[in-house]
Amino acid sequence: MQRDWQQMLQATIPLSAAMQVGIVYGADGRVELTAPLAPNVNDKGTGFGGSLATLATLAGWVEVRRQLDGIAPDVQADIVIQRGETSYLHPVTAAFSAQVDALDADELGRFAKLFIRRGVARMPVAVQVLCGGVKCAEFRGEYVASRLV
Amino acid sequence: MQRDWQQMLQATIPLSAAMQVGIVYGADGRVELTAPLAPNVNDKGTGFGGSLATLATLAGWVEVRRQLDGIAPDVQADIVIQRGETSYLHPVTAAFSAQVDALDADELGRFAKLFIRRGVARMPVAVQVLCGGVKCAEFRGEYVASRLV
């Protein structure tokens, strides 16, 4: 199951439309989120920190949703972010993207087991924000998936 | 010196216009940033985490800029965020606001001294995201002010 993430995000989260979030589908099934600079610029003409953090937040959310689609495809669930931390390393000077690091297999196994058994599970996700091949920000998020009954 | 923060933010940071960020001026000089729910909603109909983090990021930035206006009113400086961390406590179900905690006097003294002496100084800021009197998120940011030569 591969969703139309761009349509899904832009239809449900207006800020993702304002940011002009796009999707690149990777060969391994993971997706990369992209954004142009213009709607995401700051007072210095570089990428606004709030936009970088938001793109990373969305990328982590999409990855947890994507994993959950594999673990429990017929189960309705909400995924919410519980904590997010962004470190800003370099200014973003052009279009940028958010790429999720491959999830840790043990963490993922634990997440799947807990979600199936209890209907609630937490997943940590690491995301890199890249611009022109340079890592401009690092993000770590914790998401909680809850089965809807 | 009290700036027109709303005009400043919306003119230089398009995302703040998309979020419809507003300003409430407090009696003590501090400013509160506000945002309506509609442009900041998520797939669950509540406040989008990226919007909450972004409003808090802006509130911290405004506070550091405001302090710098007092410390060195005639000096041109850039303020950038270096790190931001958001903990999400409760869903936001209506218009929300970001309020900066009063800065620690010792931290502020150190910030002023370093900025005047070296032209570069870091300031930690804590921000609360409130909705209907309930604290829905906590944000901690570190900002760096650099004199422009």
| Each residue's pLDDT tens digit, A109-148 | 999 999 999 999 999 999 999 999 999 999 999 999 999 9
A92 pLDDT above the threshold of 70: yes
B104 pLDDT above the threshold of 80: yes
- Domain of residue B133 covers 5-147
Which residue has 């998401």 as its token pair?
Answer: A143
Query: Which chain B residues touch A84 with a CB distance below 8 Å?
Result: 49, 53, 85-86, 88
Give the residue among B63, B82, B66 at the shortest CA–CA distance from B120: B82
Instruction: Give B 65-94 residues with CB within 8 A of chain A.
Output: 78, 80-88, 91
Banded model confidence at residue B1, pLDDT cuts 50, 70, 90: low
Q: What is the pLDDT of residues B9-60, one digit of tens each?
A: 999 999 999 999 999 998 888 899 999 999 999 999 999 999 999 999 999 9
SS3 state of residue B41? strand
- Cross-strand bridge partners of residue B41: B47
Output the six-digit token pair for B82: 């270096």
ipTM: 0.96
Q: How far is A108 from chain B (nearest CA, A)?
A: 22
Q: What is the pLDDT of residues A7-23, one digit of tens each?
A: 999 999 999 999 999 99
SS3 state of residue B144? strand
CB contact under 8 A, A83 and B88: yes
What is the pTM for the complete model shown? Answer: 0.97
CB atoms within 10 A of CB A98: 27
CB contact under 8 A, B14 and A41: yes
Q: How far is B98 from chain A (nearest CA, A)?
A: 14
Q: Dump strand ranges (E) for A36-133.
A: 77-88, 96-100, 120-131
Banded model confidence at residue B114, pLDDT cuts 50, 70, 90: very high
Q: Cα(A68)–Cα(A103) distance, rounded to whole angstroms?
A: 13
CB contact under 8 A, A48 and B80: no
B117 touches chain A (CB under 8 A): no
A58 touches chain B (CB under 8 A): yes
Query: Which chain A residues touch B40 with a CB distance below 8 Å?
Result: 14-15
A1 pLDDT above the threshold of 70: no
Q: Cα(A120)–Cα(B39) distance, rounded to whole angstroms?
A: 29
Number of domains in chain B: 1
Give the residue among A72, A52, A81, A62 at the shortest CA–CA distance from A113: A72
Give the residue among A50, A44, A37 at the shortest CA–CA distance from B77: A44
Amino acid at A71: I
Domain holding B126: CATH number? 3.10.129.10
Dihedral over Cα of A71, A74, A75, A80: its sign: positive
User: Which residues make Cβ contacts (< 8 Å) with residue B34, sequence separation at least 6?
Assistant: B21, B22, B23, B24, B95, B96, B97, B98
- For B54, the closest of A8, A54, A85 (CB atoms) is A54
A62 touches chain B (CB under 8 A): no
- For A15, the closest of B39, B81, B86 (CB atoms) is B39
Identify whether the C-beta of residue B101 lies closer than 8 Å to the C-beta of residue B130.
no
Q: In what order do the strands lie in the sheet with B77-88?
A: A22-25, A31-35, A96-100, A120-131, A134-147, A77-88, B77-88, B134-147, B120-131, B96-100, B31-35, B22-25
Mean predicted confidence (pLDDT) in B92-106? 96
